[in-house]
Amino acid sequence: MPVVAGPPLLLNLLRNPPSLAAANVGNVDPSNPPLILNPQQIAAFVAGETIQVQFQIGNGVTALETLTSRTYRAAIGGLNQPATGGLGTWGDGTVTYSPQLPYNASALCVQNALNSLNANAGPSSGLVEVTGPANGAPYMVIWNTPGARNLITVDPSDLAPLCQVIVQRVQTGTSGVREIQLIQIIQQPLAYTSTWTIATTTATGILVFNTPAVIQFLAANPSGQTFLEIEENDGTNIRKICQIPVALNGYVVGPTSNFVPFPVGYQKGMAVVTSGNQSVALVFPAAFQSAPSFFSPGGVGMPDSVTGQLTATFDNSTLTASGVTLWLSAPAPASGYVIPWLAIQ
């Protein structure tokens, strides 16, 4: 089970809202649901996080709905975002067309490819007409003659970013009816879950933002603006109950971050020696608590392995007009790279 970052994101959703963006973000007493839900911007998600999401659905008057007889899916992503690069492999469920077609193939390009299948007999041995926008999906495939047909296939493995293909029968072919199929190619969600723990009126799930799709999205969309969508299936109807605008940020601390930044130049004025000896206690970062050497005119020391504290004593007889500088040498692989850490005037 992934580690969940922080408290859960709590959403209060309105049945039949004025817009799918209507949601109240925050914890609301289940015995006193809000009468009006105002759309609010959810705090930004961050790449690499694992977020717990909880939601409840109210009628906006007095009651929260019981969710136990329904199933839900939630995702973060763009709305009907098409592929932006790569190639797709088309076929009819039995044979495939070669070469692959570009992500933005025209309807005529797709039509010619499909009609060349099965020794130019067409997909499922029937010639087709393909209509669609000037470049890219969706495509409407209409067979020229009646009959049952296999679903058209499109392998999206080589499309970018990660994509999903949705093939639907708009009209089922029979001995007297021509088959019509609709083909959509859209980007996969950035984060997704269909697993929920439902306690009467509250559903709880987890969204993981440590996916390749998240990194690809942020590279192409620096602003990180996207949507949180929750879908409900009551066994009869499937409907979207919210589409809330959200922001997705990149990270500063990555999975392999270990660099310890140092201040540039000297840190002066941290201690003043007027007469006699002066002891200075320093606390060093964890990365420098085991391997490095510390040295100064006052001697050599190692920091405490638990607290990271090093106490150095300086005799004012060793001081010069410019003061004393305590230096540390960084551990391997930067061995020998000496960085000024503290200057005592």
State pLDDT tens for residues 258-276: 655 444 333 333 333 334 4
Please give the Cα distance from 189 to 227 (Å, whole number).
10
Higher pLDDT, 211 or 107: 107
Could you tell me if 128 and 152 lie in one domain? yes
In a domain, 179, yes or no: no
Please give the Cα distance from 83 to 100 (Å, whole number).
15
In a domain, 261, yes or no: no
Q: Which amino acid is at 104?
A: N
On the question of pLDDT at 218 being above 60, the answer is yes
In the listed set 197, 232, 249, which residue is the last one of a domain according to the structure? 249
For residues 76-104, give the mean pLDDT.
94
Task: Provide the pLDDT for residue 291.
Answer: 37
First-to-final CA distance of the chain: 53
Task: Provide the pLDDT for residue 287.
Answer: 44
Helix (H) or strand (E) holding 118: helix 117-120
On the question of pLDDT at 21 being above 70, the answer is no
Could you tell me if 304 and 327 lie in one domain? yes
Task: Provide the pLDDT for residue 305.
Answer: 53
- Measured CA distances, 323 to 23, 245, 273, 298, 341 (Å): 62, 57, 9, 12, 13
Task: Provide the pLDDT for residue 36.
Answer: 43
Could you tell me if 96 and 224 lie in one domain? no
In a domain, 206, yes or no: yes
In a domain, 218, yes or no: yes
pLDDT in tens, 124-176: 999 999 999 878 889 999 999 999 999 999 999 999 888 999 999 999 999 99
Task: Provide the pLDDT for residue 19.
Answer: 66
Could you tell me if 213 and 334 lie in one domain? no
Where residue 240 sits, what CATH number does that domain have? 2.60.40
Could you tell me if 90 and 48 lie in one domain? no
Could you tell me if 103 and 243 lie in one domain? no
Model confidence band, residue 4 (pLDDT cutoffs 50, 70, 90): low
Higher pLDDT, 212 or 59: 212
pTM, rounded to two decimals: 0.65
Closest CA to 180 of 145, 232, 207: 145
Please give the Cα distance from 41 to 24 (Å, whole number).
9
On the question of pLDDT at 179 being above 90, the answer is yes
**What's the total number of domains in the chain?**
3
Residues of the chain above pLDDT 90, percent: 40
For residues 208-237, give the mean pLDDT.
89
Higher pLDDT, 191 or 307: 191
329, β-bridge pairs: 293, 338
In the listed set 160, 178, 212, which residue is the last one of a domain according to the structure? 160
For residues 188-215, give the mean pLDDT.
91
On the question of pLDDT at 65 being above 50, the answer is yes
Could you tell me if 143 and 21 lie in one domain? no
Could you tell me if 66 and 98 lie in one domain? no
Could you tell me if 146 and 114 lie in one domain? yes
On the question of pLDDT at 211 being above 80, the answer is yes
In a domain, 258, yes or no: no
Please give the Cα distance from 196 to 189 (Å, whole number).
17
Please give the Cα distance from 139 to 130 (Å, whole number).
6
Could you tell me if 281 and 337 lie in one domain? yes
Higher pLDDT, 284 or 232: 232
pLDDT in tens, 231-249: 999 999 999 888 888 899 9
Could you tell me if 202 and 68 lie in one domain? yes
Please give the Cα distance from 341 to 326 (Å, whole number).
6
On the question of pLDDT at 296 being above 60, the answer is no
pLDDT in tens, 26-50: 544 445 544 444 445 577 888 988 9
Could you tell me if 200 and 321 lie in one domain? no
| Mean pLDDT, rounded, of the chain | 75
For residues 110-127, give the mean pLDDT.
97
Higher pLDDT, 157 or 345: 157
On the question of pLDDT at 316 being above 60, the answer is no
Q: Picking from 159-173, 190-204, 212-226, which range would have the lowest pLDDT averaged per residue?
A: 212-226
Closest CA to 25 of 56, 4, 46, 48: 56
In a domain, 262, yes or no: no
- DSSP letter assigned to residue 288: G
Q: Which domain holds residue 125?
A: 85-160
For the CA atoms of the chain, what is the radius of gyration? Answer: 31
In a domain, 131, yes or no: yes
On the question of pLDDT at 342 being above 50, the answer is no
In a domain, 257, yes or no: no
Model confidence band, residue 216 (pLDDT cutoffs 50, 70, 90): confident
Higher pLDDT, 22 or 333: 22
Number of Cα atoms under 13 Å in the Cβ half of residue 241: 24
